């Protein structure tokens, strides 16, 4: 049952949808809970992952403004930047990426997502972590310089995590309603929906979508960087902006509706612990599904550790959103060898 009306703005169809939801039978038996995985790693091949759902709305806006150059930012192995670069190639747009690396004068090897960025024709501007703190200002400067040359740039914030981008996962919640109906025995079956929280847009969309489509679910994010307070602010801002921008007739309270499972950042963003890599290997060997070391591996590790302490901490049924990122495994090859 829809609790409020939402007229979606224009979007372009780039993702392969709907994605399947699969039971994790062997892991369910081991962990004592019904465990399912929503395969958003199957939104495409090179476009694998959650970012393309957000970009379908944001790129439609860019095309509507007749943009000819997209500018965005992320870490060196950013899935969002890779998806943006490939989508730009598909749409005939130019792309400029501001990528973070410890030493911009000595950038990382051309592998994983960086290789795909380059193959898709993206321009890469390497910036330091200190410069990245001013990423919005730097992207605005890049856009201003392009405008002065007669270009029409369009800036996409980190992770495409805006009120407009969040609609990608509001719309994904429509799929989840069907998944729950078909796999769990009815649309009103209770469950917990869990995803990795990196920039907040996916979690925001799922929170809003659960309210709009009246899903009987707890929605939680496992933060893979920063901390709970950061994501309450970031997700709260996105959700509140979406409510205002799209006139959503729902009640939203950032202090009650944002559920962050903290404590699993480990060594830090994109830095892996042995136990995280071992779990990635275990999921691959027991279920034939490949998690990534930056987002889904860390987040799923958090889910597993919580379930080990209390198999019913999330209720009887858990749906984990696989947000993609397989290309992030390749730069970790030597670390993975140590756990194989």
Active-site residue identified among 78, 161, 199, 204: 78
| Spatial distance between the Cα atoms of 57 and 60, rounded to a whole number of angstroms | 5
Q: Per the domain annotation, does 249 fall within a domain?
A: yes
8-state DSSP, 8: P
State whether 78 and 130 are in the same domain. yes
5 pLDDT above the threshold of 80:
no
Tokens of 179: 């998944």
> Structural domain tally of the chain?
2
Q: Per the domain annotation, does 6 fall within a domain?
A: no
The rounded mean pLDDT for the chain is: 97
pLDDT tens for 248-268 read: 999 999 999 999 999 999 999
pLDDT tens for 108-163 read: 999 999 999 999 999 999 999 999 999 999 999 999 999 999 999 999 999 999 99
What percentage of residues in the chain have a pLDDT greater than 90? 97
> Where does residue 80 fall: left (phi above 0), alpha (psi -120 to 50 degrees), or beta otherwise?
alpha
| Spatial distance between the Cα atoms of 195 and 197, rounded to a whole number of angstroms | 6
* Final residue belonging to a domain, choices 138, 160, 182: 160
335: Cβ–Cβ under 8 A, 6 or more apart, which residues? 272, 277, 293
Q: Write down how long the chain is.
A: 340
| Spatial distance between the Cα atoms of 336 and 101, rounded to a whole number of angstroms | 22
Name residue, tokens 């790129």.
59
* Final residue belonging to a domain, choices 107, 134, 160: 160
Kindly report whether the peptide bond that precedes residue 178 is cis, defined as omega within 30 degrees of 0.
no
| Spatial distance between the Cα atoms of 127 and 138, rounded to a whole number of angstroms | 10
State whether 149 and 211 are in the same domain. no
State whether 212 and 249 are in the same domain. yes
- pLDDT value at residue 6: 85
pLDDT tens for 8-24 read: 999 999 999 999 999 99
- pLDDT value at residue 90: 97
Q: Is the pTM of this model over 0.95?
A: yes
State whether 117 and 260 are in the same domain. no
**Parent domain of 131:** 51-160
| Spatial distance between the Cα atoms of 255 and 234, rounded to a whole number of angstroms | 12
| Spatial distance between the Cα atoms of 279 and 285, rounded to a whole number of angstroms | 10
Other beta carbons within 10 angstroms of residue 14's beta carbon come to 20
8-state DSSP, 160: G
| Spatial distance between the Cα atoms of 17 and 176, rounded to a whole number of angstroms | 12
Q: Check if 199 is active-site.
A: no
Tokens of 316: 């009887």
1 pLDDT above the threshold of 50:
no
- pLDDT value at residue 3: 55
217 pLDDT above the threshold of 80:
yes
Q: Where does residue 40 rank: exposed (0-12), middle (13-18), buried (19+ CB within 10 A)?
A: buried
State whether 82 and 188 are in the same domain. no
Q: Per the domain annotation, does 287 fall within a domain?
A: yes
Tokens of 137: 């200002």
9: Cβ–Cβ under 8 A, 6 or more apart, which residues? 57, 60, 61, 164, 167, 246
Name residue, tokens 């995590």.
161
Q: Is 284 helix (H, G, I), strand (E, B) or coil?
A: helix
93 pLDDT above the threshold of 50:
yes
Q: How many angstroms from the chain centroid is the CA of residue 292?
A: 12
| Spatial distance between the Cα atoms of 93 and 120, rounded to a whole number of angstroms | 11
Q: Per the domain annotation, does 297 fall within a domain?
A: yes
Return the HEC string of 223-279: ECCCCHHHHHHHHHHHHHHHHHHCCCCCCCCHHHHCCEECCCCCCCCCCCCHHHHHH
Mean pLDDT of 62-82: 98
CATH number reported for the structural domain that contains residue 40 in this entry = 3.40.50.1100
């Amino acid at each position: 049952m829809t609790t409020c009306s939402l007229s979606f703005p224009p979007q372009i169809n780039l993702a392969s949808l709907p994605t399947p939801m699969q039971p994790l039978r062997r892991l369910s038996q081991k962990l004592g809970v019904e465990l399912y995985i929503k395969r958003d790693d199957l939104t495409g091949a090179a476009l694998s992952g959650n970012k393309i759902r957000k970009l379908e709305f944001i790129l439609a806006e860019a095309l509507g403004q007749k943009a000819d150059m997209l500018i965005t930012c992320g870490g060196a192995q950013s899935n969002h930047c890779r998806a943006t670069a490939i989508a730009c190639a598909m749409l005939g747009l130019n792309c400029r990426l501001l990528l973070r690396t410890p030493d911009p004068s000595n950038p990382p090897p051309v592998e994983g997502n960086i290789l795909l960025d380059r193959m898709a024709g993206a321009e890469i501007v390497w910036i330091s972590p200190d410069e990245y703190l001013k990423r919005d200002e730097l992207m605005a400067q890049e856009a201003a310089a392009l405008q002065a040359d007669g270009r029409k740039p369009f800036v996409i914030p980190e992770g495409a995590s805006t009120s407009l981008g969040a609609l990608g996962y509001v719309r994904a919640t429509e799929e989840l309603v069907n998944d729950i109906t078909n796999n769990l025995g009815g649309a009103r079956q209770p469950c917990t929906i869990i995803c990795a929280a990196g920039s907040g847009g996916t979690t925001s969309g799922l929170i809003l979508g659960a309210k709009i489509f009246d899903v009987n679910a707890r929605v939680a994010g496992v933060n893979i960087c920063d901390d709970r307070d950061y994501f309450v602010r970031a997700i709260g801002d996105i959700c509140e902006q979406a409510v205002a921008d799209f006139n959503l007739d729902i009640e939203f309270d950032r202090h009650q509706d944002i559920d962050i499972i903290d404590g699993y950042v480990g060594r830090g963003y994109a830095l892996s612990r042995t136990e995280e890599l071992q779990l990635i290997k275990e999921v691959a060997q027991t279920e034939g599904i490949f998690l990534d070391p930056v987002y889904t591996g860390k987040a799923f590790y958090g889910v597993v550790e919580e379930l080990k302490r209390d198999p019913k901490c999330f209720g009887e049924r858990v749906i984990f959103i696989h947000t993609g990122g397989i290309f992030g495994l390749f730069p970790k090859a030597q670390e993975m060898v140590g756990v194989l």
